[in-house]
Each structure stands twice: as structure tokens, then as C-alpha cells.
Amino acid sequence: MALVKQSFAVLKRAKSSPKSAPIETEKYALHPRNKHRQRYDFDALIKTSPALALFVRANEHGDSTIDFANPKAVLALNSALLQHFYNIQHWRIPAGYLCPPIPGRADYLHHVADLLGVENVGVTPHISQINVLDIGVGANLIYPIIGQREYAWRFVGADCDPIALNNAQQIIDSNFGLADCITLRLQTNRANIFKGMIGLNDFFDLTICNPPFHASLADAEVGTRRKWQQLSHSKTPNKSAQLKSQPNSTRNFGGQGAELYCAGGEKAFISNMIIESAQFSAQCVWFTTMVSAANNLPNFYKTLKKAGALHVKTIDMAQGNKKSRILAWTFLNEKQQQTWRDAQKASLT
């Protein structure tokens, strides 16, 4: 669903620009280390993954693109990107599951790498001693894949969906170098976030999360129909009737219940995450999460203060017209963080 939002921003700019306008060749809003700052090189991607060729076409400006409203095309693009940039030869997700925007997911990881680097004398850590907990890893395994390939970090992926975890494990088993540094854990209590996922002997440098945004399935479907209207190339006057005729798997562009919505939406989920994180304050340096709605931030800041967070940071991100941010917090003071880093260095000797 997030991919649909990102893709619409690109299409909207193309549609509103004069045909003679210069084509944007670099996405400057993305992190400088993001491998996806350049426009998609479809010739190179097709050479890596020939299956993508079936979905590539020329747009009204004569540039190669895909129909981002077609879930099969989006899946083919993601598979090609993962193969081309991250040496992931085998990547599939079950029908109807979330197909994430790879440039945006990569941006999250590069920004939190900088966050760890600030606390490491400005040196971005590319070591397997960095341990990351991914809350809601999903069937796609995107964050652990990119984090392992880019930084050699170790990941624990947590999810409440056994089908998603089973698929993620198949990706791990089918690709070189993943099994040694990615493990998965099933969250059996949907009311919990960190409980049951952080054991007594677990210590994480970082937690990451792309939380469910909507408060209900109905809200999620309304949002999805809106994105379909924006993406649709149909000129028919009665688009609402066209939308109702679309199969559910097409209308939602991927995403199961826990991926898309929870009671209270993003505001409730992240608030609960903050409260629960205080119970594991000594077992993680930085807790982080994506925040889609900026108007939720004041509430989160109040909750963080009440929970006892010592340092809070908000990192802005952008993909085209889509704005988001990373909320990060820690309960450790500078001395405690230095002790943590010293222990890491000692483990390398």
C-alpha cells in the first residue's frame, strides 16, 4: 500500500509536467547512500530479471515504466530490484501480502545507521555485532534483507502471522548469507509488541517498525480505493462502480490485517509500543518506528516523556510527494551508551 502511495507521487508529477520538461534523474530527497536515488534503469533490471520485461511499457513521455496499479507488475519490479542491488535470487510473497516500496525501506535503514553512527564517533557501523529487532517483519523480509546486505547486521524478525513467517523463512533458506544472521520469532499474543520477543538474555542496538496505519479494515479499504482512483488510467466517468468490481486482492494492492490496521490505528499502536518499550529500557539502545501522520507526533512526545525516555529524535524522510518520519528514543544516558559500545568493541577483539 505504501508502494502505491510512493508510485502515485511519481505518476502525478509526470502527468502535471509539460512534455518538454527535463526528466528528474536523481531523487535527492532519498538518503545519499540509498542505491535507489537514480530513476529505475529498466534495461539493466530486465537484464538481471527478464521476467520484468512483460510489465515494462513506455509512458506518455516515452520513458520506460510499469503500471504501478498492477500488483503483478509491482511484484516483478521488487523482485528485480532485490536481485539487481542485493543479490536476492529467490523472493516471493503469498498473494495478498504487503509488497513494500524498496527505496523507502532502504531509506529507513540508512537513516537509523546514521543514528547509530552519531553515537559511534560518526562512524556508520558495518558489523555483524549490530543486532536489530524488526517488529512486523512480514512475509517480504525487506528490512532484514537490506540491512544484512548493506551493513552486515544481524536481525530478529517478529510477526504474529505464521503464514508470513513461513514465507520469510523460505526466503532466508533460499538465499545465500541470510540464514546465519536472520532469525524469526512468532508473536502469539497480538496485544504485545516487545513482550515475548525480547528475552532475558537479548540485547538489541536497534528496533525498527513499519506500524499498521489504519484503525480498521473498512478504513484501509477506503484508503486503498482512493489510491486506486489516483493510479487508474481509466477515463470512464463512473470510477466508483469500476472500483467495486475490482477483486479485493487487487483493491488493497497487498497487505493482510495486521500489516494494514489495528484498533486505534497508528496512534494507538505506537503509543502502546512506547509504553511497552520502557519495560525493556536496558536491553536496547534505540527504539525506532515509522510515523506516517505528523499530527500524531505531539501525542507521542508526551507519551515518551511520561515513559521516561532520555533522548528523543525525529528524522524526516521524503519520497516524491510522500512525507514520513522516523521516531527514535532511548532510555540510556551517554555513559550507558558508551559502556554498550565498549562491550561491542571488546567482542571484536
Does some domain include residue 140? Answer: yes
Give me the pLDDT at residue 218, please: 59
Amino acid at 141: L
Residue 182 scores a pLDDT above 60: yes
Pairwise pLDDT comparison (251 vs 231), residue with the higher score: 231
Per-position DSSP letters for 152-215, written without gaps between them: --EEEEEES-HHHHHHHHHHHHHSTTSTTTEEEEE---TT-SSTTTS-TT--EEEEEE----BS
pTM summary value: 0.84
Residue 261 scores a pLDDT above 80: no
Mean pLDDT throughout 250-268? 64
Residue 204 scores a pLDDT above 80: yes
> Contact at 8 Å (CB) between 5 and 230?
no
Taking all residues of the chain, what is their mean pLDDT, rounded to a whole number? Answer: 84
- Tell me the pLDDT band of 2, cut-offs 50, 70 and 90: very low
Does some domain include residue 33? Answer: no
Say how many residues make up the chain: 349
Q: Give the Cα separation of 98 and 246 in Å (integer).
A: 18
Residue 112 scores a pLDDT above 50: yes
Please report, for the domain that includes residue 116, its CATH number. Answer: 3.40.50.150
Give me the pLDDT at residue 221, please: 55
Does some domain include residue 68? Answer: no
Does some domain include residue 264? Answer: yes
Give me the pLDDT at residue 343, please: 82
Residue 324 scores a pLDDT above 70: yes
- 3 state DSSP class of 329: strand
Residue 294 scores a pLDDT above 50: yes
Max avg pLDDT among 17-21, 259-263, 316-320: 316-320
What percent of the chain is predicted at pLDDT more than 90?
Answer: 66
Give me the pLDDT at residue 252, please: 34
Q: Give the Cα separation of 251 and 69 in Å (integer).
A: 9
Amino acid at 233: H
- Tell me the pLDDT band of 299, cut-offs 50, 70 and 90: very high
- 3 state DSSP class of 273: helix
Does some domain include residue 79? Answer: no
> Contact at 8 Å (CB) between 124 and 117?
yes
Number of domains in the chain: 1
Residue 247 scores a pLDDT above 80: no
Does some domain include residue 114? Answer: yes
Does some domain include residue 267? Answer: yes
What is the pairing mode between strands 284-291 and 322-330?
antiparallel
Alpha carbon 313 to chain centroid, angstroms? 19
Cβ neighbours around 343 below 10 Å, total: 11
Residue 136 scores a pLDDT above 70: yes
Phi and psi (nearest 5°) for 314? -120, 120
Of 184, 195, 176, 110, which is closest to residue 146 (Cα–Cα)? Answer: 110
* Residues of the domain holding 120: 101-215+256-348
Buried b (16+ CB within 10 A) or exposed e, 278-299: bebbebbbbbbbbbbeeebeee
Least confident range of 3-12, 146-155, 167-176, 224-233: 3-12
Angle at 87 between CA 83 and CA 93, to 5 degrees: 50
Pairwise pLDDT comparison (214 vs 335), residue with the higher score: 335
Pairwise pLDDT comparison (102 vs 11), residue with the higher score: 102
Give me the pLDDT at residue 296, please: 97
Mean pLDDT throughout 22-37? 82
Residue 227 scores a pLDDT above 70: no
Residue 126 scores a pLDDT above 80: no
Q: Give the Cα separation of 7 and 27 in Å (integer).
A: 13
Residue 238 scores a pLDDT above 70: no
Q: Give the Cα separation of 115 and 109 in Å (integer).
A: 10
Pairwise pLDDT comparison (19 vs 80), residue with the higher score: 80
Does some domain include residue 61? Answer: no
Of 128, 118, 125, which is closest to residue 334 (Cα–Cα)? Answer: 118
Residue 14 scores a pLDDT above 50: no
